[in-house]
């Protein structure tokens, strides 16, 4: 099956940004002139019915096409928008994430993703956590050898990877216990270290249990650590789909994109394709309608693979295919 090179390039670029950058970061970091304008080219709202989006944006004072100094995005758009959303008293969680593109066809464009969770939505009860710590040798490794990009296969020198593999094997039990620590940074570093365990099947299973962590940053790091493990184990043994399918229903754009990327790989397994179509098809269709180029392109690629289409199709064609395959109606 041939996929468009341009789409794949955009997807991989957005994934690199998504997995390597902390939440709230922008796609461009080299711009220093804060007064350069950026245009709000697209606004996506997740968590409210489509029929209410227009009224909500009017309440927030946001509209596509407005210009904002790049250096003032946070103070002029993000912070006041989150404050207004919280002030409604309607939402339990709010998040406003801007992504600004520098260069290429989207040069100077900013896309806003507004994610909300209604107070009436059922809240999953988080298990109690106690303060924890990393094994001292692992903590020293992170302090001495790991920089801001984290400890991943594409950020560590080969010699450091070998060292972390040894640490992950020698301290396996303690690292697993650290996944339940109350401090998100401890949980994140424990997950990064576990991913290097020589037994990749054991590492994957332990990380799958942490994929739905209550902290967005931990979820991001767990997903990034899982990606190469899933790649290597496809077809070798059954992989439980539940955590991956649950992640795509989270309101944050980072979670949706990470889940879509993982499910895209798992859809290569013929037996997994049907449950992925049934459970993740609707979220992928919703993503494919979004204005954010990264989410839209990734979702369209996943839908092409799931539908086994030899060439990209239109959104309406994917919707018709999904509704026929599942005997469900897509509700916007």
Q: What is the pLDDT of residues 151-193, one digit of tens each?
A: 998 899 999 999 999 999 999 999 999 999 999 999 999 999 9
Nearest-10 Cα torsion for 271, 289, 216, 108: 130
Residue 100 gets which letter from DSSP?
E
- Give CB contacts under 8 A, 24+ apart, made by 108-111: 108/36, 108/37, 108/38, 108/39, 109/38, 109/39, 109/41, 109/42, 110/38, 110/39, 110/40, 110/41, 110/68, 110/70, 110/73, 111/40, 111/41, 111/42, 111/43, 111/44, 111/291, 111/292, 111/293
Rounded to the nearest 10 degrees, the angle between the axes of helix 253-266 and helix 270-288 is: 150
SS3 category, 90: coil
- Partners of 98 in the β-ladder: 112
What's the pLDDT tens digit per position in 241-282? 999 999 999 888 899 999 999 999 999 888 899 999 999 999
What per-residue confidence (pLDDT) applies to 125?
58
What token pair was written down for 6?
């341009």
- Is residue 13 scored above 70 in pLDDT? no
Structural domains in the chain, CATH included, are 1-21+278-332 (no CATH), 24-116 (3.10.20.310), 136-250 (1.25.40)
Whether residue 32 has pLDDT greater than 80:
no
Q: How high does pLDDT run on average in the chain? A: 87
Provide the pLDDT for residue 1. Answer: 43
pTM above 0.85, yes or no: no
Residue 210: pLDDT over 60? yes
**Token pair recorded at residue 171:** 């301290």
Q: What is the pLDDT of residue 29?
A: 40
224 pLDDT band, cuts 50/70/90, is: very high
Res. 331 pLDDT band, cuts 50 70 90: confident
Give the tens place of pLDDT for each residue, 102-154: 888 888 899 999 999 988 876 665 666 788 899 999 999 999 999 778 899 88
Q: Are 99 and 26 in contact (CB under 8 A)?
A: yes
What per-residue confidence (pLDDT) applies to 126?
66
Integer-rounded Cα radius of gyration of the chain:
20
């Amino acid at each position: 099956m041939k996929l468009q090179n341009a789409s794949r390039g955009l997807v991989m670029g957005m994934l690199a940004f998504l997995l390597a950058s902390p939440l709230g970061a922008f796609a461009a970091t080299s711009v220093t002139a804060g007064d350069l304008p950026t245009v709000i080219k697209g606004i996506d709202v997740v968590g409210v019915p489509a029929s209410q989006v227009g009224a909500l944006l009017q309440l927030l004072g946001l509209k596509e096409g407005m210009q904002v100094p790049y250096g003032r995005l946070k103070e002029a758009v993000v912070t006041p928008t989150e404050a207004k959303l919280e002030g409604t008293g309607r939402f339990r969680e709010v998040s406003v994430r801007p992504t600004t593109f520098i260069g290429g066809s989207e040069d100077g464009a900013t896309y806003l993703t507004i994610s909300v969770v209604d107070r009436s939505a059922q809240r999953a009860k988080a298990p109690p956590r106690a303060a924890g710590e990393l094994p001292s040798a692992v903590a020293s490794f992170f302090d001495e050898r790991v920089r801001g990009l984290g400890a991943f296969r594409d950020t560590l020198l080969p010699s450091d990877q070998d060292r972390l593999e040894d640490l992950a094997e020698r301290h396996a039990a303690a690292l697993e216990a650290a996944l339940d620590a109350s401090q998100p940074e401890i949980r994140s570093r424990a997950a990064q270290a576990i991913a290097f365990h020589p037994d990749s099947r054991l590492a994957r299973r332990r990380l799958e249990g942490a994929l739905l962590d209550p902290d967005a940053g931990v979820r991001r790091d767990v997903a990034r650590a899982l990606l190469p493990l899933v790649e290597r184990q496809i077809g070798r043994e059954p992989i439980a789909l539940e955590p991956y399918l649950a992640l795509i229903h989270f309101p944050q754009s980072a979670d949706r994109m990470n889940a879509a990327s993982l499910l895209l790989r798992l859809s290569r397994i013929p037996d997994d394709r049907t449950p992925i179509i049934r459970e993740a098809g609707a979220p992928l269709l919703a993503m494919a309608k979004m204005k954010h180029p990264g989410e839209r392109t990734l979702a369209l690629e996943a839908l092409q693979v799931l539908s086994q289409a030899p060439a990209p199709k239109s959104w309406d064609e994917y919707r018709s295919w999904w509704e026929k395959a599942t005997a469900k109606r897509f509700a916007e």
